[in-house]
Structure 1
């Protein structure tokens, strides 16, 4: 099973982003798994013209919003289906989209960035011992790394199995993810040369669902 197959399958299952959000905006930034909830693009601290790299950009909604704010928007995803969907939905946006693995892109590009981010994306699904140094080399001095994902299940830390379901007649596809408690994420970032590392769990909005969102941020 290739990573491409797994994430192409996921792309078919994930619904399209709404045409507008609750505020009537056609683009917006969403760190959490809940609509119209949580902080926005201000977490990245980008100025107009700043360069931003989305690792695991999916269908490009967050990246498109940064493009409307005047950022140099670059997205990477291992899934061709996701990249095609992003290009089709946001064809009028100034975004550079690359179909490749996050770590490969970071190691091969000669560009540097003011912000690198991942929303339930590649930072969750790549060994941090390999990915964090690669990100650190591509961030400009003072640049921001920020990422979000589900908080870990208590007692289940490090490399875990994540399942992508298929039809009833097919076994689910399995990808690896890396789960840590907030304090451990902050330690890992510091160990890999980042500064001012913070990690917190944003509570879920009012309603029946209780799982929050882990949001991590650090400076180069």
Structure 2
């Protein structure tokens, strides 16, 4: 299996930087989906100014920077130094934004002050074993805190641990990482088994005129 940091370093080099402004002219914004200017906003997290929030697999930092700009203390964790370097270059001067290079589960198990919300946008929750990750997240959430995450919906009939491929050059084999795919009902069952409540999971349709692949969004409370 591909080294995790190597895989996400490679992925980072293929992804464009976030636009300077969105369609509304904002310099920071929150995006749950793979489509620009589409889907719900950070309201899914139920945060108030001053709350602590954790981004698992923060990538280039745009979502975490938006929450910090809105008055939260945002911690972004990623295992890829390339991703974090891009985040530091663009958002490093943002007050109340902390960026950490770490394995997500190891970071969660460090303990410390609890978070009001933990989220993952096409990130750690998708690419880690839920039997390990979900309990570790719950331990770091304050009572009533929110876990929310988004990812691609599963291919029908392909559930549980799957192989995900990150392309490289023409003469190189793709890198392989694991991901965990479930239908909404499957995520609801897993979260309840691990002690979460108020679980909701749904597939948000792609915007008109785009490809038909929607976004699976899940929200629950500790």
TM-score norm. by structure 1 comes to 0.99
1:109 shift after superposition: 3.2
1:199 shift after superposition: 0.2
DSSP-derived class of the 1:123 partner: coil
Query: What is the root-mean-square deviation in Å for CA atoms of aligned residues?
Result: 0.7
Inter-partner Cα distance in structure 2 for 1:38 and 1:124:
19
Q: Structure 2 residue aligned with 1:102, among 91, 101, 104?
A: 104
Residue in structure 2 matched with residue 216 of structure 1 by the alignment: 218
Residue in structure 2 matched with residue 77 of structure 1 by the alignment: 78
TM-score norm. by structure 2 comes to 0.98
Residue in structure 2 matched with residue 10 of structure 1 by the alignment: 11
Inter-partner Cα distance in structure 2 for 1:185 and 1:201:
12
Residue in structure 2 matched with residue 176 of structure 1 by the alignment: 178
Residue in structure 2 matched with residue 60 of structure 1 by the alignment: 61
Give the gaps of 5 or more residues in structure 1.
none
Give the gaps of 5 or more residues in structure 2.
none
Residue in structure 2 matched with residue 197 of structure 1 by the alignment: 199
Residue in structure 2 matched with residue 132 of structure 1 by the alignment: 134
Cα distance per residue 1:60-87 (max 9 Å; x no partner): 0000000011001001001011111101
Residue in structure 1 matched with residue 148 of structure 2 by the alignment: 146
Inter-partner Cα distance in structure 2 for 1:86 and 1:112:
24
DSSP-derived class of the 2:137 partner: helix
Residue in structure 1 matched with residue 25 of structure 2 by the alignment: 24
1:158 shift after superposition: 0.2
Please list every run of at least 4 consecutive aligned residues from structure 1 whose deviation after the TM superposition is greater than 3 angstroms.
Answer: none
Cα distance per residue 1:91-113 (max 9 Å; x no partner): 22121111111101000132210
Inter-partner Cα distance in structure 2 for 1:5 and 1:156:
26
